[in-house]
Chain A
Amino acid sequence: MKKSLIVLLVVLMAFSATVFAQGGTEADKGYDIYVYNSKGENAAQFAEMCAAYEAETGVRVKNFSIGSGQDHMETLRSEMNSRSMPSIFSIQGMKELAEWSQGGFALDLTTVTTGNFGKMAAAIPQGLRLTSNGKTSYGIPYNVEGYGFIVDRDMLAELFGSANVDAVLADIKAATYGEWETLVKAIDAWIAVPKATSVKLNGKTYSLASSKGTLSGKLTGVFAVMGAEKWTYGDHFINVALNAVFANPVEANEADEAKIKSLKGALLAYAQALDLKTSYLAGAKGKAVRGQDFVSSANYGYDQTVQIFADSKAVFFKQGNWAFGNIEGVNKAQSARLEFVPVKMPYQSQDVKRTDGTTVAQLNSSIPVFVPNYYAVNALVPKAEQQKAFDFLYWMNNSETGKKYIVEKFAFIPYNADPATMSVPNSLGNSIIDYIASGNTLTAPYHGAPASWSGDVVGLRVMESYLTKRNWTQADYEAIADYAIKEWIALK
């Protein structure tokens, strides 16, 4: 027995020695750089681009994209635990940065000062950098994305007359919250009984059509809202309000208790704006109301709500340019006519705590535009491999071939695009470029809030307790704001 135990131990040790200790010498890994892409939607095009780079330069690129909608963090962690770590990996905003910078994986690009790559990294605008303190910079942006209320120009033409579309759009963008609220209520009344009603927008008077047209005849409500998707009213809608207090994610990340408490006014405005949005709901079969049906994923999930909007059953749909493909899939004609109007909130001037002089009017005429994802270089791979990674990223963002892939194949808005000359092949992307050109953009401070705060904590509470509730009162607004503040402090 003793002898056999010894035999067993020896065999086990020999086995583990071969399994766990192979990395002694630097053998050929079968690639020169390994790129990990966490955007499953462009997997095929990304692989194509890597092949093009390999053909052009002879550098062997191994690329890996996760499946669409898959958890990219779990996969990336296991890749990081393996012997052949990615040389380039992706970080989706500040929340994920904490892990990779603390673990020593992400290379601070401000330390790279030489070569084309160094210049490119230094030229990333401060507002688009991946940083937790404003001094470091950990990634090259994938692209920029933005969101707001999506509106169909032809729908506005039927509501206000085709000659007025551009003027109405410009004045909705500039309108105050009070005017916006009146507009929403007027359209709601018009859907029930169409008659020529005058509405004031940005001080100018417009009149609603006296009868319904082909598109406006299909309307069932003013807003298409994804009641079952916490991130739409948790992460993104609440982010608009955070902009009243924080100029960027770094400020949100560094906020102390007093600063968090000063969010109260902005969060009350958030709750009130959410109340308005979810009080005039479009449903698939008619006007919808808040309640248990509204948070059911079978009725108001992502695809169902896209369908409601693309079927012209709603006037406004709060989503980002990433929804373009989904809308195009349902209604190609409509997808060519889309534009963003800003999400407006009823801030008082004292609710705005920004130190850079931002006003209520500016907040209410801007849309959030931010970088959703970054390419980071792995600090733990050999220097030579890092250099090859730098060259790849430079090529991707500056060569004609690379830029062609980003704009045409990935349908991205490049972070380094010149808004004056840039145009992309989709309506929502161009609408975002217009906002960038006019400087009417907000940031994504919710990335600086504690990890689960906006979606899984506040968003979940809003869904469970409020979107199921027919009528909201001032006390509900207070409760939502207080809960959000209390949880932020608790999670910090």
Chain B
Amino acid sequence: MNFYKKWFWPLVMPSLLLFTMVILYPFIMGVVNSFLAWRGTYYFDPDTGTRATSMFNSFVGFDNYKEAFQDTRFISALVYTIKYTFIAVIFVNIVALALALMVTKITKSSGLYRTVFFLPNMLGGLALGFIWQFVFQIIFTDILFSPDALYLPFLRYMTQDSNKALFALAMLSTWQYAGYMMIIYVAGLNNISSDYYEAASIDGSSYWHSFRKITIPMLMPSFTIVFFMTIANSFKLLDQNVALTDGEFGTRLLAMQILRTVKDTTPPNYGKAQAQAVIFFILVSVITLTQVTITKKKELEM
């Protein structure tokens, strides 16, 4: 104990410094810049119409926020992101849980399966996006689901329609994240003592009944973390969106909208992009905190 008391600051300092430098300081500057006419390399003075002599001269109050909310592209990206998150969270969770139930049930080579399911998570988002672009444009459209083969119009040209692209993106993220979330569910499932299932089966409970009454309530801590991660990841999805559709056909998600805001005008309006980023931050925090509070309440105290 004494050791930690004595060495507390020396041990904490490196991480604290790093945190301050790469997270805290940029974050604070970001919030500050969202109230300024920031142009990326200089501050603009709206009164003189030239480069501001100091950053205080470029204060624009809530103008950047007003502009962000008046921007139809921002609003439609927001709506699209909410739709996508809804679909992706359902997809990822069902698949991850199913995989977890499977790999905990089987006895042979379950390690191999876990590794294989986890693998897609090791790839970067851009690479994944391009791989799936090939899958959707060539394999789905021209080979598997073309009129000469298994004709399924819904699965063709998935990147060229904003509604279909929601499912295309969800399929991609399921492929990427399900393995990772599976690991969390596996840990949760392993924590449930087999005594409960034994007792239930003696009382004549069916598999589904046990699943609903034992597995789900006991898994609540895992649901809390998996929901949190999938919601946050879906909201922040960027690379996959850029690589798969580049926002064409009305498929811009929020993160990409923020990224492209600086390309919409010249000189680039970094202040407005920053305001969008702050709104984005608040939104993600509120949604994930609400979710964590709700799911936490459902967790059982053993």
- A296 touching B157 by the CB < 8 A rule? yes
Contacts A296-B137, A463-B248 hold; do A451 and B265 have CB atoms under 8 A apart? yes
Q: Report the separation of the CA atoms of residues A7 and B44 in the bound assembly, to the nearest whole angstrom.
A: 38
The residue that A99 contacts in the complex, of B159, B249, B268, with Cβ under 8 A, is: B268
Contact of B9 among A8, A102, A298, A450 (CB under 8 A): A8
B17 surroundings in chain A (CB, below 8 A): 11-12, 15
Question: Which segment, of B35-43, B76-84, B190-198, B275-283, faces chain A?
Answer: B35-43
Question: Is A244's CB within 8 Å of the partner chain B?
Answer: no
**Given known A8-B9, A11-B13, contact A104–B51 (CB-CB < 8 A):** yes
CB of A99 within 8 A of CB of B160, answer no
Q: Does B263 contact A (CB under 8 A)?
A: yes
Interface string of A438-479 (1 = CB under 8 A from B): 000000000000111000100010011000100000000000
Give me 19 A-to-B residue pairs in the complex whose CB atoms sit less than 8 angstroms apart, sorted by A's number: A7-B9, A8-B9, A11-B17, A12-B20, A98-B267, A103-B42, A103-B51, A104-B42, A292-B157, A292-B160, A293-B141, A296-B157, A298-B134, A299-B137, A452-B264, A456-B263, A460-B248, A463-B248, A464-B250
Cα A95 to Cα B41 with chains together (Å): 16
**A-B residue pair count with CB separations less than 8 angstroms:** 76
Which chain A residues border B41 with CB–CB below 8 Å? 77, 80-81, 99, 103, 105
Chain B residues lying within 8 Å of A11, measured Cβ to Cβ, are: 13, 17
Contacts of A293 in B (CB 8 A): 141
CB neighbors of B among A1-32 (8 A) = 4, 7-8, 11-12, 15
A88 sits at the interface (CB 8 A): no
B binding-site residues for A, Cβ under 8 Å: 8-9, 13, 16-17, 20, 39-42, 44, 50-51, 133-134, 137-138, 141, 156-157, 159-160, 248-250, 263-268
Chain B residues with CB under 8 A of A298: 133-134, 137-138
Give, as a whole number of angstroms, the nearest-CB distance from A381 to chain B.
14
A262 within 8 A of B: no
A interface residues, tally (CB under 8 Å) = 33
Distance between Cα atoms of A410 and B231 in the complex (Å): 49
Q: Among the interface residues A12, A80, A81, which one has the most CB atoms of the partner chain B within 10 A?
A: A12
> A residues engaging B (CB < 8 A)?
4, 7-8, 11-12, 15, 73, 77, 80-81, 95-96, 98-99, 102-105, 292-293, 295-299, 450-452, 456, 460, 463-464, 468
Q: Tell me the smallest distance from the CB of A102 to a CB of chain B, in Å.
A: 6
> Given A7-B9, A99-B40, A103-B39, does the pair A464, B248 have CB atoms closer than 8 Å?
yes
Q: Look across to chain B and name the residue whose beta carbon is closest to the beta carbon of A80.
A: B41
Q: A104-B42, A293-B141 are in contact. List 9 more A-B contacts (CB 8 A).
A: A4-B8, A77-B40, A98-B266, A103-B42, A297-B137, A298-B133, A456-B264, A464-B248, A464-B249
A99 and B39 form a contact (CB under 8 A) = yes
Contact present for A102 and B44 (CB under 8 Å):
yes
Set of chain A residues within 8 Å of B249, measured between Cβ atoms? 464
Which residue of the partner chain, among A8, A299, A451, contacts B266 with CB atoms under 8 Å?
A451
**Across the two chains, which residue of chain B brings its CB closest to A463?**
B248
What separation, in Å, do the CA atoms of A464 and B264 have in the docked complex? Answer: 19
Q: How far is the CA of A468 from the CA of B137 in the complex (A)?
A: 15
Closest to A301 in B: B137
Chain A residue at minimum C-beta to C-beta distance from B139: A298
Q: Closest approach, in angstroms, between the C-beta of A417 and any C-beta of chain B?
A: 30
Which chain A positions have C-beta within 8 A of B51?
A: 102-104
Cα A301 to Cα B179 in complex, Å, equals 33
Smallest CB gap from B265: residue in A: A451
